[in-house]
């Protein structure tokens, strides 16, 4: 009888070990958010917007900068992802065009944003929600030294706000604020 208990314990350990190694959840599936719940969390981002961007003053840019643009965020791939198209013009960066996809990765249990832009950048952000704010982070490769970048995306009355903060080793510093107002129809 003791051998059967040992074999059963080893079998269960083996199955659990395989599940962990394969990245499969070991708890029941009820802890996974449903596709509808994921869509509901990020639905506030979907829309066609006119954007106003502010780059706060810094040592390299004492007067800061402002810009205007558009943002089109639509559901894609059976409403599992948000497709993002950004265009703006500002006095510091000039003409900016960015494209991205935002969705939920059920294996990582987090939201993932992959962005590409006309400057050749292609960051991939990971994160989740704190209250009603979507918080995404990445490590930005830079010629001198990589740095951490944090995005905060949230609804503010009738607008959608985006804040970008960089940590160059001395803590998070705001580097961009964008207000997206629904475009007139």
State the Cα–Cα distance between residues 123 and 125, nearest whole angstrom: 6
Q: How far, CA to CA in Å, does 69 sit from each of 49, 54, 158, 172? A: 8, 12, 18, 26
Q: Is the dihedral of CA 117, 120, 126, 129 positive or negative?
A: negative
> So what's the pLDDT on residue 162?
98
What is the tens place of the pLDDT at every residue in 74-92? 999 989 999 999 999 988 7
**Residue 31 per-residue DSSP state:** G
Query: Under DSSP, is residue 64 helix (H, G, I), strand (E, B) or coil?
Result: coil
109: pLDDT strictly greater than 70: yes
Confidence band for 167, pLDDT divided at 50, 70 and 90: very high
- Mean pLDDT across 54-73: 91
Read off the pTM: 0.80
Task: Answer with the residue of higher pLDDT: 8 or 124.
Answer: 124
pLDDT tens, residue by residue, 19-56 = 334 444 444 455 678 989 999 999 999 999 999 999 99
pLDDT in the model for residue 39:
92
Assigned CATH topology for domain 34-182: Lipocalin (2.40.128)
The pLDDT value recorded for residue 87 is 96
Give the separation between CA 72 and CA 161, rounded to whole angstroms.
14
More confident residue, 70 or 8: 70
- Residues 115-162 pLDDT 10s: 999 999 999 999 999 999 999 999 998 888 899 999 999 999 999 999
Token pair, residue 45, equals 């981002």
Delimit the CATH 2.40.128.20 region(s) of the chain.
34-182
Place of tokens 């992959």: 114
Question: Phi and psi of 23, rounded to 5°?
Answer: 75, 15
pLDDT of residue 30: 54
At residue 177, the pLDDT reads: 96
Burial (0-12, 13-18, 19+ Cβ within 10 Å), 102: buried
Q: In whole angstroms, how far apart are CA 93 and each of 24, 63, 66, 88, 118?
A: 43, 14, 10, 9, 11
Task: Give dist(CA 97, CA 87) in Å, integer.
Answer: 5
């Amino acid at each position: 009888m003791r051998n059967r208990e040992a074999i059963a314990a080893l079998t269960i350990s083996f199955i659990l070990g395989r599940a962990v190694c394969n990245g499969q959840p070991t708890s029941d599936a009820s802890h996974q958010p449903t596709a509808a719940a994921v869509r509901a969390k990020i639905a506030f981002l979907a829309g066609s917007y006119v954007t106003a961007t502010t780059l706060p003053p810094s040592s390299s840019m004492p007067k800061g900068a402002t810009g205007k643009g558009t943002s089109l965020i639509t559901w894609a791939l059976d409403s599992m992802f948000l497709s993002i198209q950004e265009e703006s013009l500002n006095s510091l960066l000039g003409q900016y065009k960015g494209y991205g996809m935002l969705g939920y990765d059920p294996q990582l249990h987090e939201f993932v944003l992959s962005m590409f832009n006309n400057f050749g950048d292609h960051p991939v952000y990971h994160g989740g929600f704190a209250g009603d704010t979507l918080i995404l982070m990445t490590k930005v490769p830079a010629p001198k030294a990589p740095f951490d970048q944090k995005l905060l995306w949230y609804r503010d009355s009738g607008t959608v706000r985006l804040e970008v903060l960089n940590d160059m080793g001395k803590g998070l510093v705001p580097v961009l604020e964008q207000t997206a107002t629904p475009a007139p129809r």
